[in-house]
Amino acid sequence: MDVIVCGAQVPFVRGGAELATANLVRALQENGHRAELVHLPTAWEKERVFDAPLAWRMLPLDADAVIATNFPSYYARHHRKIVWLFHQHRGAYDGADAAWSDMGLDDESLEIQRQLTEWDTNALLEAQRIHTISDVVADRLARYNGLTGTTLYHPPPLSDELRVGEYGDYVFTPTRLEANKRPERIVAAMPHVSSGIRAIVAGRGSMSAELHKAVERDDLADRVELPGFVPDDALVDLFADSLGVIYDPHDEDYGYVTLQAFLAGKPVITSHDAGGVLEWVEDGVTGIVTDGTPQGLADAIDRLASDKAAAAEMGMEGRRRVAQLSWPSVVEQLLA
């Protein structure tokens, strides 16, 4: 079967959605299909929010099936359109009036939100089937568009390389250094940690300078490392030998870091409002769910440090829970 995978991308930005679409194409090819990835650039500013949807409507997509993923790729027209929804335009939905969204509660923003909701709903109704990457995404789809999506989980990047190592003297966080990922919480927690555990927060982003200043201001150079970009082989090693992983985003769509931590046999520390992360992290079973305060996160770190056997048990339970995820299963269900 000839399959086109449709994805949207902000130029020069590569994140989880881009990795997922590339891995889906590879999985389709490995399962005997001819597959191509079609990406179109997307702008998220409200003044340009309808430009890319219109561009997708005009594309000639000659294939047996089209799999659309994130906003606005599901505006593509095809007689066999299958949607595997990564996310919609969150700034116009649950993120409206948030600090990171340019859409507020003013009349102009509300009219854009109304029109976009109508457009989204009509485009998604064209699909033969709608899957979502998590229950969180399915819940948003039902809440804002009145549509039903079936959750279809998939393996994270590096799933074949991640391994279980030692339970060392540091907690690890690989993430984009952006406000919605809340890396500043980890830095704020470290002065409250009494066990001597260090934190390694790897990644790049607009908050990098702010985090470095906080480390210097609070005299945490020996407690917090900010190495920036980490290549895949080093990433695997850092997962493998960590005591645990802190992943504390706000209302995450899915959360690859959680699944990667589990594949490395590590428990995950998170907070009660982390979204899709909580579909995997069960408090006291596969990790620790905190209130998100510096003291709450610090207490969770100290709890892992005080009982490494319990930390290992939680991490290995997480590993058991993600063991069934596979790309062949994803392909089979998408094209059923």
pLDDT of residue 14: 75
* Residue bearing tokens 């509300």: 110
- At residue 77, φ and ψ (nearest 5 deg) are -105, 130
Residue at 11 is within a domain:
yes
pLDDT of residue 204: 94
Residue 271: other Cβ atoms inside 10 A: 25
Residue at 266 is within a domain:
yes
- At residue 172, φ and ψ (nearest 5 deg) are -120, 140
Are 146 and 240 contained in the same domain?
A: no
Are 226 and 106 contained in the same domain?
A: no
Residue 34 is part of a domain; what is its CATH number? Answer: 3.40.50
CA separation for the pair 122, 332 (Å, rounded): 26
CA separation for the pair 106, 101 (Å, rounded): 13
Residue 253 is part of a domain; what is its CATH number? Answer: 3.40.50.2000
Residue at 64 is within a domain:
yes
The sheet carrying 65-68 orders its strands as 34-41, 2-9, 65-68, 81-85, 129-132, 150-151
Are 49 and 100 contained in the same domain?
A: yes
Residue at 159 is within a domain:
no
- Across the 336 residues of the chain, what is the mean pLDDT of every consecutive 10-residue run? 94 83 97 96 87 96 97 97 94 78 85 94 98 97 97 96 98 95 98 97 96 97 97 98 98 95 99 97 98 98 98 98 96 97
User: b/e per residue, 36-74, with b = 16+ CB within 10 A?
Assistant: ebbebebebebeebbebbebbeebebebebbbbbbbbbb
- DSSP labels for 235-300? HHHHHHT-SEEE---SSBSS-HHHHHHHHTT--EEEETT-BGGGGT--BTTTEEEE-SSHHHHHHH
Are 28 and 115 contained in the same domain?
A: yes
pLDDT of residue 96: 79
In the chain, the number of structural domains is 2
Are 204 and 298 contained in the same domain?
A: yes
Residue at 336 is within a domain:
no
Domain endpoint, select from 124, 152, 180:
152
CA separation for the pair 13, 15 (Å, rounded): 7
CA separation for the pair 85, 71 (Å, rounded): 8
pTM of the model: 0.92
User: b/e per residue, 99-121, with b = 16+ CB within 10 A?
Assistant: eebbbeeeeebeebbeebbebbe
Are 177 and 313 contained in the same domain?
A: yes
Are 6 and 47 contained in the same domain?
A: yes
Residue at 327 is within a domain:
no
Are 142 and 215 contained in the same domain?
A: no
CA separation for the pair 256, 155 (Å, rounded): 8
Are 188 and 95 contained in the same domain?
A: no
| 3-state DSSP assignment of residue 322 | helix
DSSP-assigned beta bridge partners for residue 151: 132
At 325, list the tokens.
């995820």
CA separation for the pair 267, 248 (Å, rounded): 13
Are 82 and 40 contained in the same domain?
A: yes
Residue at 175 is within a domain:
yes
Residue 333 Cα to chain centre, angstroms:
21
CA separation for the pair 58, 122 (Å, rounded): 16
CA separation for the pair 40, 18 (Å, rounded): 12
Are 298 and 192 contained in the same domain?
A: yes
Domain endpoint, select from 152, 179, 194:
152
Give 214's Cβ-side CA count (13 Å radius).
18
- Domain of residue 18 covers 2-152
- CB contact set of 60 (below 8 Å; sequence gap of 6+): none
Residue at 162 is within a domain:
no
Q: How far is CA 81 from each of CA 36, 39, 71, 135, rounded to the nearest angstrom?
A: 15, 16, 14, 21
On whether the CB atoms of residues 186 and 249 are closer than 8 A, the answer is no
Biggest CA-to-CA distance, the chain: 60
Are 56 and 180 contained in the same domain?
A: no
Q: Kind and range of the H or E element at 210?
A: helix 208-217
